[in-house]
Amino acid sequence: MESAAALIQLDPLIVWTRVNWAQIFGNRNPIRVEVGFGNGSFLVAMAQRDPASNFLGIEIYSRGMRRALRRIERAGLNNVRLLRAEASAALPRLFGPEEVGEVYINFPDPWPKKRHWKRRLIKPSFVETLYRVLEGGGRVHLATDHFDYAQEMLASFEGQDGFLNLAGEKAFLTHPPEERLPTKYEQEFLREGKTIFYLVFQKVVLGGAGLAQISKL
């Protein structure tokens, strides 16, 4: 109950200035962000699995918000907050440099028609934002069932100095990385026998902590 009440209060958090996250979460635990959380099942499962982290879900449509709030309430979680916003506009305003520990972007809308590709979320300017807000050693986890979007993701991340592709240069995984929890879309795609492309990029700060933390997927 308490968690949902807190979330409803935070729902109109369209604050276009920096946010005091320690105040919002009530602690200074690492922050993990999921962009486009859909029905919230992945976000909630992650938050249950890792109570020592704070989770922020950013979702552009309100449809899933109610369902996600119910899940959070049922699970009695107090380490999750939801924000209705467009992620590429919100992230650079909500976070200063190195404030985010991990980012998850699962099955971003692929906009399959070529004339719509410019609407895709993953592009060099957004990747630059991700790099700025991530702490050294932090990771961006992506999954898509679209081969050409996966290629575009690779090009955008590998074009950003300081991101290391943990699957190896120009490579992605076609099996889920260890410990990955499946999302709703992922479960449907797997049932349909589709190939899924998984990508993980780590922010490497030369001479800093980032290098020491690199581990294979």
Ligand X SMILES: C[S@@+](CC[C@H](N)C(=O)[O-])C[C@H]1O[C@@H](n2cnc3c(N)ncnc32)[C@H](O)[C@@H]1O
Stated as kind and residue range, the H or E segment containing 130 is helix 124-133
Which residues, other chains included, contact 91 with Cβ-Cβ below 8 Å and sequence gap of 6+? Answer: 33, 35, 58, 126, 129, 130, 133
Name the one range near ligand X by CB under 6 A: 1-9, 22-30, 59-67, 129-137.
Answer: 59-67
Backbone angles phi, psi at 181, to 5 degrees: -95, 140
Name the one range near ligand X by CB under 6 A: 7-15, 22-30, 162-170, 178-186.
Answer: 178-186
Report the relative pairing of strands 100-106 and 134-144 from DSSP bridges: parallel
Minimum distance from CB of 163 to ligand X (Å)? 20
What does the DSSP 8-state code read for residue 145? S
**Does 60 contact ligand X by CB under 6 A?**
yes
Strand order in the sheet with 134-144: 80-84, 54-59, 31-35, 100-106, 134-144, 197-203, 163-165
The nearer residue to ligand X, 87 or 154, going by C-beta atoms, is 87
Of 50, 109, 148, 161, catalytic: 109
| Length of the chain, in residues | 217
CA angle (53 as vertex; 126, 10 as ends), nearest 5: 70
**Does 153 contact ligand X by CB under 6 A?**
no
The nearer residue to ligand X, 36 or 210, going by C-beta atoms, is 36
**Does 198 contact ligand X by CB under 6 A?**
no
Burial of residue 164 (number of CB atoms within 10 Å: 0-12, 13-18, 19+): middle
Residues 18-37 contacting ligand X, CB under 6 A = 35-37
**Does 121 contact ligand X by CB under 6 A?**
yes
Minimum distance from CB of 115 to ligand X (Å)? 18
The nearer residue to ligand X, 169 or 179, going by C-beta atoms, is 179
- Whether 11 is catalytic: no
In this chain, which of 107, 157, 172, 198 binds ligand X, going by CB under 6 A? 107
Chain contacts with ligand X (rule: CB under 6 A): 35-38, 58-61, 64, 86-88, 106-109, 121, 183-186
Query: Which residues participate in catalysis according to the annotation?
Result: 109
